[in-house]
Every structure is written in C-alpha cells, then in structure tokens.
C-alpha cells in the first residue's frame, strides 16, 4: 500500500513537472540568475541609468543566463544599506556616500565601515541643485536660514549634501531652517504649490524633476553656492568637486548664467558576496557597448572608459577587475582599489 502511494505521488510529480514544462516553453528558470539594481526616484537620473544597464545586459540574457531588473528606491543611502543587507545585488550611489559607507562616516557612523561594499565604475556627474521660489527672497545660500526647505528623504544622497553644506555654512539645519524630509519626486509640485520655499536635489542634468520644478506658474531659480562654502568642503573631502548647473537645460528658470555648486559622481556599487561572473557580465556589456549606452540619456554625454574609473572608494569587485584586465583598462584604476 505504501509503495503504491509513493508510486502515485511520484507519478503526479512527474506529470506536474511535464505540464509545467509544456505550459512555460523556454522557461529555464532553474538556471537564470535574477539580479536587481537599486536606483532612485523615477524622475531622477539613477532610474533611467538602471534602465540603461538592464537594457544593454538583458540583450544577452540567454548567453549569460542573467536577468537584470530595476527598482525605484529612496536613493544612495538606501541602496548601500539594501546591498549590505542582501536585498539588492547592485545600486547606484553617490561617490560621497560610497566613501562614507566604506569609511563608516555620517549615516554609517554607528554601524561602522561597510567592508563588504565593492565598486564597479562611475557614471554621470551630479550637482547639488537648490531650487527656490523667486518670491521667497532667497538669493544666497545664507538666505535659506529660516526658510521651509525640503532637504530630502533619509535614504537620499541630497539630504547628506544639504546637511554637510549647512554645517559648513554655520547653519544648524535642525534649528535654523524648517527642514522637510520628502522624496525628490515630490519636491517640484510642493515648490509650485507654495508648500515649500526651496528644495535640494543632487542629480545629473538634464532631469525631469528639475524641468517640472522650473516650468510651472511660480517663477523659480537656482541658488548658487559661494566659494567660501565650497572651497573648504572640497579641501576636506576629495569626493566633492565644484561644478555648474547648466541653465540651458532649464530655459524657464530665472537664472541667466550657469550656477556654481557642489558636485559628486553617480557610482555603481555591489557587494563582495555577488558572484564574479555576474559582475563580469554586467561590466563587460556596459563597457563594450558604451557608445550605445551613452545614447540612452543626455547626462552620459561626458562619459569615457577612463573617467568611468574615477570617483570610487570601495575596492573594485573581482568580476569587474577581470574585465578591466582583459580590456587593458587597469592602468586607469587607482592601485589602492585593487585588492
């Protein structure tokens, strides 16, 4: 009786297996590795960057048995934490946050250095973009004092830059301003509706949120960051640089000239635990198809294979390094990143 029951169960199992095979032709799920890239808000540049990577790599899904998906997230800080927790395999992270996570600073001061973090490459430059209503009287950075400002949600990169800039300017962000912690995707509408006076967004240009914020009925402008705040901050932290917001992308903003500000780079991160063959495949496809990749967003126009190996702090993942060796790109990598 027992034997008969096992035969029946085994038979049912075989039938289920066959039916599943017929129902889902081409499904090779047992072999395919699924990985996810954490990005940012859907109106930023991280989200289309994740999309660009997945589009290029998924063309070769069969060859690599790899499927890349993209997730909209709270931004850099969220992405580092999700990669470290194993919830995401990859993430786009500001060069500043990558440095701080690796060294256990700022958001990671309590948790300590994130030693499993690995870097792959960097992408477009991002600039701290402060947008303010013309009717608020905010002309200089110091005028933000006493104002209602969205500095960004806790998982975002811009929140970190805002806090560091206020600190450098001697403004206590918790006391001297009315700080909001909303996602960047909400900022444009909040500013246009008069619910805030200004917002911070560290982002590549051009991008949808800034276009939306500058194209409404309320007249708005970008707030410049003076050298007196920028220079000491850049001196202290090599991951910061000086840049200009190109106003040509936002013709309805009130500024007539490009606006000086603080800049970082968008970097591509992963964990030590992600298999080398997965990281190799993604690195190879992005670099081998760089010209096609660059066409996917105007913010990538400045990218070269050489400058994509700068702005990194965490060691290069062995899978990426294998590709850089094959492609003769190792000479562009800071030796301290090769472990």
Compare residues 41 and 315 and give the one whose CB is closer to ligand GLU. Answer: 41
Q: Which stretch binds ligand GLU (CB under 6 A): 25-33, 156-164, 189-197, 242-250?
A: 156-164
- By CB under 6 A, the count of residues binding ligand GLU is 15
Q: Among 50, 75, 91, 125, indicate the residue that binds ligand GLU (CB under 6 A).
A: 75
157/319 with CB nearer ligand GLU = 157
The reply on whether position 186 binds ligand GLU by CB under 6 A is no
311 binds ligand GLU (CB under 6 A): no
Quote the least distance from Cβ 275 to ligand GLU, whole Å: 26
Cα–Cα dist 276/76, whole Å: 23
Cβ atoms of residues 243 and 161 within 8 Å = no
Q: Is 286 helix (H, G, I), strand (E, B) or coil?
A: helix
Least CB distance from residue 81 to ligand GLU, whole Å? 12
Residue span 194-213 as binding mask against ligand GLU, x where in contact by CB under 6 A, dash where not = --------xxx---------
**Tokens linked to 261:** 């500000």
Angle, in degrees to the nearest 10, between helices 46-58 and 276-288? 100
Q: Judged by CB under 6 A, does residue 38 bind ligand GLU?
A: no
The correct pick among 44, 50, 133, 311 for binding ligand GLU (CB under 6 A) is 44
Distance of closest approach, residue 333 Cβ to ligand GLU, in angstroms: 23
What DSSP line would sit under 172-214, residue for residue?
A: -TTTTSEEE---HHHHHHHHHTTS-SEEEEEE-SS-HHHHHHH
Tell me whether strands 241-245 and 259-271 are parallel, antiparallel or unpaired: antiparallel
| Lookup: tokens for 149 | 């400002």
The single residue among 94, 164, 186, 285 that binds ligand GLU, judged by CB under 6 A, is 94
Is 302 in contact with 243 (CB distance < 8 Å)?
A: no
164 sits near ligand GLU (criterion: CB under 6 A): no
Q: Is 46 in the site for ligand GLU (CB under 6 A)?
A: yes
Q: Closest CB to ligand GLU among 50 and 319?
A: 50
Q: Which long-range contacts (CB under 8 A, 24 or more apart) does 6-12 make?
A: none
Q: Is 262 within 8 Å of 233 (Cβ atoms)?
A: yes
Phi, psi of 209 (to 5 degrees): -65, -45
Q: Does 91 bind ligand GLU (CB under 6 A)?
A: no
Give the residues across from 34 on adjacent strands: 67
Report helix, strand or coil for 108: helix
Q: Which stretch binds ligand GLU (CB under 6 A): 42-50, 243-251, 282-290, 326-334?
A: 42-50
β strands within 102-174, DSSP E:
117-133, 148-150
5 CB neighbour count, 10 Å cutoff = 9
Given 38, 41, 50, 319, the residue binding ligand GLU (CB under 6 A):
41
Nearer to ligand GLU, 35 or 269 (CB): 269
**Contact status: 156 vs ligand GLU (CB under 6 A):** yes
Task: Tell me the angle at which helices 157-169 and 227-236 cross, rounded to the nearest 10 degrees.
Answer: 110
Site residues, ligand GLU (CB under 6 A): 40-41, 44-46, 75-76, 94, 126, 156-158, 202-204
């Amino acid at each position: 009786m027992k034997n008969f029951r096992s035969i029946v169960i085994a038979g049912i199992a075989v039938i289920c297996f066959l039916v599943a095979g017929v129902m889902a032709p081409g499904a090779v799920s047992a072999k395919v590795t699924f990985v996810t890239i954490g990005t940012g808000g859907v109106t930023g540049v991280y989200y289309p960057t994740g999309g660009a990577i997945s589009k290029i790599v998924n063309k070769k899904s069969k060859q690599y048995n790899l499927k890349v998906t993209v997730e909209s997230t709270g931004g850099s800080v969220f992405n580092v934490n999700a990669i470290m927790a194993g919830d995401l395999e990859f993430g786009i992270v500001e060069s500043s946050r990558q440095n701080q996570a690796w060294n256990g600073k700022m958001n990671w001061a309590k948790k300590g250095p994130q030693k499993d973090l690995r870097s792959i490459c960097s992408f477009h430059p991002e600039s701290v973009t402060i947008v303010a209503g013309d009717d608020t009287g905010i002309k200089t950075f110091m005028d933000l004092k006493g104002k209602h400002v969205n500095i960004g949600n806790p998982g975002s990169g811009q929140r970190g830059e805002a806090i560091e800039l206020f600190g450098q300017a001697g403004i206590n962000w918790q006391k001297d301003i009315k700080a909001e912690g909303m996602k960047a995707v909400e900022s444009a509408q909040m500013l246009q509706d008069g619910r805030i006076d200004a917002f911070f967004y560290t982002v590549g240009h051009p991008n949808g949120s800034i276009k939306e914020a500058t194209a409404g009925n309320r007249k708005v402008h970008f707030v410049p960051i003076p050298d007196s705040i920028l220079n000491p901050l850049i001196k202290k932290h090599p991951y910061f640089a000086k840049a200009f917001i190109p106003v040509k992308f936002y013709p309805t903003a009130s500024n007539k000239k490009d606006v000086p500000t603080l800049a970082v780079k968008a970097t591509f991160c992963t964990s030590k635990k992600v298999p080398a063959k997965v990281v190799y495949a993604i690195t190879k496809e992005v670099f081998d198809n760089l010209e096609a990749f660059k066409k996917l967003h105007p913010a990538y126009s400045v990218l070269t294979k050489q400058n994509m190996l700068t702005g990194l702090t965490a060691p290069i993942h062995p899978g990426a390094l294998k590709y850089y060796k094959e492609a003769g790109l190792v000479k562009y990598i800071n030796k301290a990143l090769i472990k």
